[in-house]
Structure 1
Amino acid sequence: MPQSYNEMDGNSIGVSRINTIMRFTSFPKVQGMIALKHIRDQFYTHVDIVEAAPENIGKTGKYKGVGAHLFAIACKLSWDVGNEGYVQFTAKTNLVEHYRNTLGARNIDTQRMFIDSYGALKLIKTYFPEEA
């Protein structure tokens, strides 16, 4: 059974005015990474890519919740810059239903999805309880 991954130290490894890339580094090996950009004129944060380390993927992964934690980081950063937690991303086809169930994401079209303020708050409260 996978261990729960509930420790946050998303250290920013590449930040510019437009893009942010973050990774988890509290363990000897990177557990996941996310690349995102804030679309301020449309009030949302766009996730370009989110990836858990290969050993953390699926129900048999070493750490459970790395992907959801990365999306929680995106929601928190979205909130911090004034986008009210809104996050948009394109899901891999086989993960659309999973994102609906685990992140509370909703469809824009077949693969493009978003997390609204309510879903963002739920993720933020789960992964950043000290800030809720």
Structure 2
Amino acid sequence: MKKLFGEAREFGICCGLSVPIRGSHGGIAVVTAATDLSVPTWEQYKRENMRKIDVAGALLHRRILQLHRVADQRPKLTRREIECLLWTSQGKTCADVAEILSIAENTARSYLTSARNKLNCLTIAHCVAKAISLQIIPPVI
């Protein structure tokens, strides 16, 4: 590691970050960016753009998979993850879902987060839409 960072400094690179990308079947990838910006400038840039950096990382990963013709198979969600998504698609909050399923609110939130990660989504709303498009849950009528 010391050699890697030493070589990076030789090229003026002093800052960077790695964005983890979680695949729909548990696979993990990392998109890394490095820069020669000053530390204060880089920190400000990250604060202002972290959401965009996350999205760009996810889109880059998806495009690489498409170029290499890796199938985006339907991920395996647990029964509880599907139930939480189903109730969320009906407009229920985490508190509502928890009450309906007789579980703790944090547990409901955890199931939704797990589903979001498995479906490689950035938000719960995105996750619900993707679950509907993959026919994991039925569309809202």
Normalised to the residue count of structure 1, the TM-score between the two structures is: 0.30
State TM-score, norm by structure 2: 0.29
Higher strand share: 1
The structure whose Rg is larger is 2
Which of the pair is proportionally richer in helix?
A: 2
